[in-house]
A and B are shown apart, each in its own frame.
Chain A
């Protein structure tokens, strides 16, 4: 069986703009398995960029590289023009980028209450917690949910808490990896509208990753790149 690889180059025709979050010729291999092969993508401040592709094409791996959670085997990530040399908790820029995952249940500590979940970034950075409560309110979390733990709430309620957590430190770059795949249409429309309101208010950049091209077309006003890669059928 040949090595499955996937390549993507999102052409950057938008010159003379702020540098943003750029990935250049990113290659990621797990053992002998190459998941990303020379992938390039650039995310500019203030824009919402959609990235569409089937499951297994490496979208989530790319999301983790862009969120500085995974050091690529080869290639460069630049944030605001500066190349990234340290990753995960060692990356000084880590709070400038936030990632929202597909499955909220796997993205939170099951021992935390929802309140713990959405206040944690502010507690960890010793900032006042007011903003976390404003966000929770804005995302439609009611007070009686604050003391519940993940197993006591629905996927939709938990994902709302995860979005509040992601926005708490006002990231300049927000990466949404299949954020609404588990959710019903109304919750999906609501979360997307909150994220777009945040982007308009702060000028942050949003990368929306999904297999759902209808959603991305609507979300990004057609600013979507389709990525098929070379995925085994």
Chain B
């Protein structure tokens, strides 16, 4: 077991309101497995990633637990069990980010410093992590040629920028990779290449948490799928059964919206995270809704009173 998220809840205080960004999220992720967290934009997926890395802004309140290596003991080489939610910033900065968890960011080109070459980025990261590997060797692991490293970010093609970002995430050889919308804005061949890369990382034995709104990308690599709606996980299933037999009405609607399927949007619109209904948040859009839905359904593979 690499990661056990238990009752994770994130609230943001904004003037006059509270944003219910993530509510009572629980899941587990093992080595050599990929979990895809999918949902519409604004459903709380990225907040989850930032909560795990301790990167939320000051107006956020986080409760619940996110155990990294929950079964490890002090003597394990991977590091002892650590609750990412309560761990102090110093621990996260010195022992976790880059070392035990690698982040593959959204829009890799924007993630890089524009005035520094790819090699300078890799060299700095390796130095800070105390690694003896050379930038060239690290680049080779991520599929880059040494001559590519002399380029500045604006000289990198989308695919190369992606590989540089991957190399940065892999510099500290982290056993857990969090990929936060790694395919946003990429064209299909680059999406496919990125998913192939994530598959390779998983097959090396790393645990991969893929956060994406792109169901077709998720299908290529996920072993398990967690569907998020209005901050809650509403379905958690093996990827194969999810893509062939989704159970939650929202999950079915999301898959039906694909151009290769019905190309029909989910009717209605997602609720404001500042004003969630008391019961099931999908109720106003749901074809199956009954008075039963005024009560919050429990997640038991799927969080719905009707399936």
Task: Identify the stretch in B2-10, B82-90, B164-172, B186-194 within 8 Å (CB) of chain A at 4 or more residues.
Answer: B186-194
B41 touches A212 (CB 8 A): no
Contacts of B41 in A (CB 8 A): 154-157, 182-184, 187
B184 interface contact, C-beta 8 A: yes
A211 interface contact, C-beta 8 A: yes
B42 touches A215 (CB 8 A): no
Contacts of A211 in B (CB 8 A): 187-188
Task: Identify the stretch in A18-26, A121-129, A165-173, A188-196 within 8 Å (CB) of chain B at 4 or more residues.
Answer: A188-196
- In this complex, how many residues of chain A approach chain B with their Cβ under 8 Å: the count is 33
User: What CA separation (Å) do A54 and B150 show in the bound complex?
Assistant: 25
A184 touches B39 (CB 8 A): yes
Contact of A218 among B188, B213, B263, B266 (CB under 8 A): B263
A102 interface contact, C-beta 8 A: yes
**A103-B185, A156-B42, A218-B263 known; A185-B258 Cβ under 8 A:** yes
- A228 → chain B closest CB, angstroms: 12
Closest to A56 in B: B157
B254 interface contact, C-beta 8 A: yes
Closest to A216 in B: B259
What per-residue 1/0 map shows which CB atoms of B206-218 lie under 8 Å from chain A?
Answer: 0000000111000
Contacts of A190 in B (CB 8 A): 265
Contacts of B272 in A (CB 8 A): 142, 144
B290 interface contact, C-beta 8 A: no
B136 interface contact, C-beta 8 A: no
Taking chain B's interface residues, is the majority helix, strand, or loop, or is none over half, making it mixed? Answer: loop
B185 touches A185 (CB 8 A): no
Contacts of B42 in A (CB 8 A): 153-154, 156-157
A219 touches B259 (CB 8 A): yes
A214 interface contact, C-beta 8 A: yes
| Most B C-beta atoms less than 10 A away, residue of A103, A181, A219 | A181
B254 touches A54 (CB 8 A): no
Using a CB-CB cutoff of 8 Å, which residues 250-301 of chain B contact chain A? 253-255, 257-260, 263-266, 269, 272
Closest to A217 in B: B259
A55 interface contact, C-beta 8 A: yes
A193 touches B269 (CB 8 A): no
B215 touches A54 (CB 8 A): no
B40 touches A184 (CB 8 A): yes
Contacts of A54 in B (CB 8 A): 187, 189
Contact of A183 among B213, B253, B254, B263 (CB under 8 A): B213
Contacts of B259 in A (CB 8 A): 185, 188-189, 212, 214-215, 217-219
A189 touches B263 (CB 8 A): yes
Closest to A160 in B: B269
A214 touches B257 (CB 8 A): no
B158 interface contact, C-beta 8 A: yes
User: What CA separation (Å) do A181 and B185 show in the bound complex?
Assistant: 6
User: What CA separation (Å) do A187 and B254 show in the bound complex?
Assistant: 10
User: What is A's interface to B at a CB cutoff of 8 Å?
Assistant: 54-56, 102-103, 140, 142, 144, 153-157, 181-190, 192-193, 211-215, 217-219
Q: A56-B157, A157-B42, A214-B260 are in contact. List 16 more A-B contacts (CB 8 A).
A: A55-B158, A103-B185, A156-B40, A156-B42, A184-B254, A185-B254, A185-B257, A185-B259, A186-B266, A187-B40, A189-B264, A190-B265, A211-B188, A213-B188, A214-B259, A215-B259
Interchain residue pairs A-B with the least CB separation, the first 3: A154-B42, A211-B187, A190-B265
20 A–B contacts from the bound complex (CB under 8 Å): A55-B186, A55-B187, A103-B185, A153-B42, A154-B42, A157-B42, A181-B184, A182-B41, A184-B41, A184-B214, A185-B254, A185-B257, A186-B253, A186-B265, A189-B258, A193-B265, A211-B188, A214-B259, A217-B259, A218-B260
